[in-house]
Amino acid sequence: MDAILLVGGQGTRLRPLTSHRHKSLVPLLNRPAIEYLFEWLERSGFDRVVLALGQANEDLATAYPAGQRGRLEIIPILERERLESGGAIRNAVKTAGIAGRFAVLNGDVYVDFDFAPALAAHIEREADLTMALKALPDPSQFGVAVTDGTGLITGFVEKPPPGTAPSNLVNAGVWIFEPGLVEEIPSGAVRVEETLFPSLVARRRTVLGHQFSGTWADLGTPARYLQVSKELLGTRNEIAPGVKLSATGSLSGSAIGMSSQLQMGTTVQNSILWENVTVSAGAQVIDSILADNVFVGTGAVLQGVVAGRGAQIGAGVVLPPGTSIEAGGRYD
């Protein structure tokens, strides 16, 4: 079975972290986030994965060229114009020669659930489309699906205001397509979430919602990216090779990338540091994300800060929570 991985976006919601790095290459516990999707696809029995690459995605195309990755064959396809999800699916199916049933995944999610029951239900119910659904306490930031007593989807609500959602089941960005659906995607650059899916439901086609209980997270914003990292880490640390740690520092629940250094008396807690980050003596970094080559000056205090590549933070400054520093920027 083939899978299409929608990785053509520009990662605008994740900026400044994605100003110099594709969103699928953003490190999750010091590994590119896309690696977790590859592993899930391989565990789930897929044979090929088509990377639907958009414009200015050359770094991802270089990192994962055509060829084998374990049992999984990678097929990169570069789009010449912006296609949105619908156009990307249509282009991937045609270019890669996908003939049978296939799956589609959003490239900015983390998933870890048993795919086999979803596929079995899709086949048993003779569904046209099956959508993986995840129950969340607060679904207001996501697309919500409404189902009937048999599991069929009867409607969608996009980002309902808190407390108004008719369901707590969100679209997890994992879909099973029957091949004939491709011809029903409207022409041009369209989103299937806004065109094909509501149209199928309105025409009473068999659109199945498969609720799963495994791990799922949307990595599309710095806050969500930090949250899933915290959940995966717990209280432990993930420390890459070449990291220099001072014996007098405090480190907990954090991922520290290659060649970074934490000097004397530093505190780093529940944070993500990419490669070659320097935290100078006595500085505190809490609930923050620091991209590669960020420098934190002596005694600085960061809490809830996001800093892009090469940002410089002066000695002794206390940054307001929620501060975002652009790549190459400076805060004194």
pLDDT above 70: residue 195: yes
Range scoring the smallest mean pLDDT among 33-37, 138-142, 193-197, 214-218: 138-142
Q: What are the pLDDT digits (tens) for 6-60?
A: 998 776 888 999 888 888 999 999 999 999 999 999 999 999 999 998 777 788 8
Q: Which domains does the chain have, with CATH numbers?
A: 2-221 (3.90.550.10), 234-331 (2.160.10.10)
pLDDT of residue 13: 84
Of the pLDDT bands very low, low, confident and very high (cuts 50, 70, 90), residue 206 is: very high
pLDDT above 80: residue 233: yes
pLDDT of residue 143: 84
pLDDT of residue 198: 92
| Helix (H), strand (E) at residue 74 | strand 72-78
Mean of pLDDT over the chain: 92
Match 């975002």 to its residue by tokens. Answer: 324
**Which residues are CB-contacts of 112 (< 8 A; sequence separation ≥ 6)?**
36, 40, 214, 215, 216
pLDDT of residue 11: 67
Burial string for 199-224 (b: 16+ CB within 10 Å, else e) reads ebbeeebbbbbbebeeebbbbbbbeb
Find the mean pLDDT for residues 263-289: 96
Range scoring the smallest mean pLDDT among 8-12, 200-204, 241-245, 249-253: 8-12
Q: What are the pLDDT digits (tens) for 68-83?
A: 988 999 999 988 878 8
**Which residues are CB-contacts of 305 (< 8 A; sequence separation ≥ 6)?**
285, 288, 289, 290, 319, 321, 322, 323, 324, 325
